[in-house]
């Protein structure tokens, strides 16, 4: 268990999540991709804390911030999904192409 190995795991999680967020048609599945990406960020931040600066608490605070970002992303994502489904019966990104900008 070295810094390089743990960061590789974080990069792998991030890349898989990115692939999901870019390919998925369903809005909810895109959010799952983003969750995986933030999971990678959590692993990376914990690794930096452990292997580079364990005496400083900042690395831990970044993990806390990433966990909060996960919760916020879920709540707002579902709210937006609910709102757009209610008004226009949209559940797939390609149906909302007029929103691209």
Partner 1 sequence: MALVVVASFWVLGVLALVSGGLVFRFTSMARATIALLTSLICVGGEVVLLGLPYLGVVTILMMVMEMAIMAVFMIAYMMNPAGLTPMSMLHNKGGSLAVSGTVFVALAAGIFLVPWPRRAGSPPPDTTFQVGESLMGAQMLTMIVLGFALLATIVGAIVLSTRRGRYDRFGDDLDRRPPRDPAGGGVGR
**Which residues bind to partner 1, rule: CB under 8 A?**
1, 3-9, 11-20, 22-29, 32-33, 35-36, 39, 42-43, 46-47, 49-58, 60-61, 63-65, 67-68, 70-72, 74-76, 78-83, 85-86, 91-94
Separation of alpha carbons 99 and 86, rounded Å: 16
In whole angstroms, the minimum distance from the beta carbon of 95 to partner 1 comes to 10
In whole angstroms, the minimum distance from the beta carbon of 99 to partner 1 comes to 15
- Residue 74: name the closest of 39, 16, 32 by CA: 32
Q: Are 36 and 17 a contacting pair, CB within 8 Å? A: yes
């Amino acid at each position: 268990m070295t810094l390089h190995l743990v960061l590789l795991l974080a990069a792998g999680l991030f890349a898989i999540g990115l692939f999901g967020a870019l390919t998925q048609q369903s809005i909810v599945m895109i959010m799952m991709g983003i969750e995986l990406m933030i999971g990678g960020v959590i692993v990376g931040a914990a690794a930096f804390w452990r292997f580079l600066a364990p005496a400083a608490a900042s690395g831990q605070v970044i993990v806390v911030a990433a966990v909060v970002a996960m919760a916020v992303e879920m709540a707002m994502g579902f709210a937006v999904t609910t709102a757009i489904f209610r008004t226009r019966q949209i559940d797939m990104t390609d149906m909302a192409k007029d929103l691209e900008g």
